[in-house]
Structure 1
Amino acid sequence: ESGAGGVVRAGAGLARLGLEGLPLHPIPTDVLIPAPTQGTLALEVRAGGVAEPFVAALDHPATARAATAERLGVAAFGADCTLPLAAWAREEDGWLHLVGLLATPDGRHTARGAAAGSDPESVAAACVEAMRREGADEVLRRIRG
């Protein structure tokens, strides 16, 4: 007995294991924003190589734009995978929407921002600016000491 009352797992992984029948309680993204580019698959092949036409068929432009916006948000804070930064972008109604959250590890200090627009660069910049207005630079100072 682990003593755990529950566990947080990715729904896609549970489906692959055939465990969809378990009692599941999906966590909404307004409660728990995922890590930047969570679930995004990136493939890199040699330009002009034999694999290029095969992977080109896998390209999903909306996902590429979302991942770009999320990664630009990460870069704006000089972040790596150790910074407690969340970002989630998605296309909805013809617009790219991005929400970001930076928090101290104990969760006592947070800065959240959101933006929407037509291109990843301006959406990321607007989201970062919104986070800075909410105190992101102070949160970073507390994290980095």
Structure 2
Amino acid sequence: MAPLVRIGTRRSKLALTQSGMMQRAIGRALGVGDADLAEAVPLVEIVTTGDRVQDRRLMEIGGKALFTKEIEEALGDGRVDVAVHSMKDVPAEQPEGLCIAAVPAREDARDAFVSEAFASFPDLPAGARLGTASLRRQAQALALRPDLTIEMLRGNVDTRLRKLAEGDFDAILLAVSGLNRLGFDGVIRQRLSLDDFLPAPGQGALALQTRVDDRDAAWVAALDDPMTALAVAAERGAMTALEGSCRTAIGAHAVIAAGRLRLTTEMLAPDGSARWRRVGEISVADAADAMEQAGALGLCLGGEVRTAAGDRRVDP
């Protein structure tokens, strides 16, 4: 059987798990049986620069686009037909000819506190070593606990958990969604509040990226969750306004209930000494242009946050 849809994916355990979920969903949408899935909807593994360089923060080597660049090149030149990304890794601007065609239903967007010795974030003693490579998590942690020692932690989830078990850190912060998808939810000691640790834009959501010409394919529509897509549009609007990257500590999270979308977004000084936040909401019930309105709300609130921050230094 000739491949019907080739999926580009990173080689990490989490990326392959997420892409495998989408492989099965695409197979169901195409009517492909399990026995033919690997041949009809193959996973094409691609090593990205972000995977190869593990000893430095992403902001030092080019930002989070380093997790998507090589896969996007394969998509653009026809070696794969769809890319599966963690939405929080997808830059605000799409390369020419490519688009985010579908956003599947979201997992838990919260951050997870993981520790061998301590039951919760507040239980950490003064000077405790907290591992993270995220500037956002660093800033949010220091805003609450300036006494902590933040240490750089990169690598896949297995690597980070191993370093914690070996005693390199007193605790680490990870995304709940990744741990859930990997079946590692048992290591979570505390699911951190969305207020204290406002997630990265798109955290917990996946992005299905295709060529623009393929965005209306029937299998694409079958995988899209309109409510998740709306929430993510608002969050990414804020990210665009705040020039969100690995060099800025920003969070954004939207919830939809009773036909209304409520967005919270913030920017922090990297040392946690200052925090600027705005909250707004719009009606999205039966709105034909709901996606545009959601994005516009994000742009508006993000702009207000940036104005409030003024000339204060927000880059490390």
Superposed counterparts of 1:1-145, under 5 Å: 1-22=166-187, 24-46=189-211, 49=214, 52-118=217-283, 119-128=293-302, 130-131=304-305, 135-139=308-312, 142-143=313-314
AA aligned to 1:107 is G
Specify whether residues 20 and 74 from structure 1 end up closer, same or farther in structure 2 by C-alpha distance, changes over 3 A only.
closer
Question: Given that residues 242 and 303 in structure 2 are in contact (C-alpha distance below 8 angstroms), is that contact kept between their aligned partners in structure 1?
Answer: no
Task: Tell me, in whole angstroms, the C-alpha distance in 1 between the residues paired with 2:230 and 2:256.
Answer: 9
Give unmatched runs, 5+ long, in structure 1: none
Task: Tell me, in whole angstroms, the C-alpha distance in 1 between the residues paired with 2:244 and 2:180.
Answer: 32
Question: Given that residues 46 and 52 in structure 1 are in contact (C-alpha distance below 8 angstroms), is that contact kept between their aligned partners in structure 2?
Answer: no
Shift of 1:23: 5.3
Specify whether residues 32 and 144 from structure 1 end up closer, same or farther in structure 2 by C-alpha distance, changes over 3 A only.
closer
Name whichever of 68-77 and 45-54 sits farther off: 45-54
AA aligned to 1:65 is L
AA aligned to 2:314 is I
Shift of 1:108: 0.8
SS in 2 for 1:33: coil
Displaced runs of 4+ in structure 1, greater than 6 A?
none
Name whichever of 48-57 and 76-85 sits farther off: 48-57
Specify whether residues 48 and 86 from structure 1 end up closer, same or farther in structure 2 by C-alpha distance, changes over 3 A only.
closer
Name whichever of 37-46 and 123-132 sits farther off: 123-132
Answer 1 or 2: which has greater helix percent.
Answer: 2
AA aligned to 2:173 is V
Specify whether residues 2 and 114 from structure 1 end up closer, same or farther in structure 2 by C-alpha distance, changes over 3 A only.
same
Task: Tell me, in whole angstroms, the C-alpha distance in 1 between the residues paired with 2:296 and 2:310.
Answer: 20
Specify whether residues 56 and 80 from structure 1 end up closer, same or farther in structure 2 by C-alpha distance, changes over 3 A only.
same
Shift of 1:51: 8.3
AA aligned to 2:259 is G
- TM-score normalised according to structure 2 size: 0.40
1:85-121: CA deviation from partner (whole Å, max 9, x where unpaired): 1111121222111111101111112211111112314
Shift of 1:77: 2.7
Name whichever of 122-131 and 29-38 sits farther off: 122-131
Name whichever of 49-58 and 23-32 sits farther off: 49-58
Give unmatched runs, 5+ long, in structure 2: 1-165, 284-292
